[in-house]
Amino acid sequence: MRKVFQQRSVTRALTCIALLRVSGCRGKQNVLDVAGPQAEGVAHLWTGFLIVMSIIWVLVAIATARAAFKCTTQKLIEPPLPHNPSQNKFLTWVVGSLVGVTTIILFAFLFGEFFVARSASAMSQDVNALNIKIIGHQWWWEVQYMDAVASNIVMTANEIHIPTDRTIQLQLDSADVIHSFWAPNFEGKKDLVPGHPTLMWFKASRPGSFRGQCAEFCGMQHAHMRFVILTEEPSKFEQWLADQRKSAPDPKTDEQKRGQHVFMTTTCIMCHSIQGTDAGGLVGPNLTHVASRTMIAAGSRPNTVGHLAGWIMDPQKIKPGVLMPQHTLTPQDLRALLEYLETLK
């Protein structure tokens, strides 16, 4: 009997660990895999909470078990204890001290949280911050690299390249409903409320690829509203930004030309932009450099020709409810369109 109980406890503990691993304490989207100073503050706070709360939980569990054990071993019908002033005084002292300790712990955490939050907002003074505008849509992320010169503004989607060791200032807004920007390796969550732009700051301390997620329920495909943050050495980032400023290359082969013609004469052009062409739609993601991205459909599928074909022909199957309509293209037109899209590096 005891063995069965032990086995069950082990199974439950392993299940809990497995659930934690898949839920957010894993790999590229991980609060504890710190990739910047803000996340470090949050992780320290988390560790402090865990240690203190665990100690308190163990003490309360011991006290409860002891009381329960005492209850079962004592005779139920016992004469009431005679009034004992010294014991009453002792109990009052114990309860009073525990209330005092609880208050001290709560205030310690309150101050800890205050200083962690303050260190993040202190970055707002950095005049060299990289200014990126993020607009939440159902269900994708519009990303704009702001610049004083309008023609230098870069528009992309779902993939945020940032340099290491530089303050990143995000201007957050929403085009429809409330979303929440959450890149756990860097900073806490921040809501995107339509019509109420807000700011957040963070820094990346090392190069890498990290994932983020919309953290506020925003409709049917909320779970598939993800993004990627690629942190790069400053020189590599500047190169990427310069490449993104360029217009899309003109199609060279007949197949690519046919693909561009398909794009410009079907519903694609109604919603998407390709810089340097007539396509200027603002409803869906900007596709000027779509082939340079690692994922499509807001982090739902890897950016391969096969997945792109599936997405174009039947996006409703991959993300039911998405604004992008189904397409009825001939196999030849689809092949040409894919060929053209693959040139948009």
> Interface with ligand CUA includes 136 (CB under 6 A)?
yes
Instruction: Tell me the closest approach of the beta carbon of residue 299 to ligand CUA, in angstroms.
Output: 12
- The residue (of 37 and 136) whose beta carbon lies closer to ligand CUA is 136
Rounded Cα–Cα distance for residues 38 and 123 (Å): 10
Of the candidates 157, 162, 225, 290, which one interacts with ligand CUA according to CB under 6 A? 225
Looking at beta carbons only, is 275 or 300 nearer to ligand CUA? 300
Question: Residues 316 to 335: which contact ligand CUA by CB under 6 A?
Answer: none
Q: By CB under 6 A, name the one of 34, 154, 157, 218 that touches ligand CUA.
A: 218
CA pair distance 23, 32, nearest whole angstrom: 13
Instruction: Tell the smallest beta-carbon distance from residue 188 to ligand CUA (Å).
Output: 16
Size of the site for ligand CUA (CB under 6 A): 9
Q: Does 133 bind ligand CUA (CB under 6 A)?
A: no
Separation between Cα atoms, residue 167 and residue 333, nearest integer Å: 45
Strands 168-174 and 159-163: unpaired
Structure tokens at 173: 């807004």
Separation between Cα atoms, residue 324 and residue 137, nearest integer Å: 12
Task: Decide whether 216 or 232 has the Cβ nearer to ligand CUA.
Answer: 216
Q: Does residue 228 interact with ligand CUA by CB under 6 A?
A: no
Nearer to ligand CUA, 225 or 296 (CB): 225
Paired sense of beta strands 190-192 and 154-157, if any: unpaired
Retrieve residue 179's tokens.
């979303």
Q: Which amino acid is located at 54 in the chain?
A: S
Is cis: bond before 139, omega within 30 of 0? yes
231 and 164 Cβ atoms separated by less than 8 Å: yes
Answer for which of 68, 153, 217, 305 binds ligand CUA (CB under 6 A) is: 217
Q: Which stretch binds ligand CUA (CB under 6 A): 194-202, 213-221, 244-252, 297-305?
A: 213-221
For ligand CUA, what does the binding mask look like between residues 138 and 177, x meaning CB under 6 A?
-x--------------------------------------
Judged by CB under 6 A, the residue of 28, 133, 189, 222 near ligand CUA is: 222
Compute the residue count for the chain: 345
Among 216, 232, 333, 339, binds ligand CUA (CB under 6 A): 216
Determine whether 189 is exposed, middle or buried from the number of CB atoms within 10 Å of its CB (0-12, 13-18, 19+).
middle
Taking the complex as a whole, how short is the minimal distance between the CB of residue 138 and ligand CUA, in angstroms? Answer: 7
**DSSP state, 196?**
B
Element (H, E) at 317: helix 315-318
Footprint on this chain of ligand CUA (rule: CB under 6 A) = 136, 139, 179, 214, 216-218, 222, 225
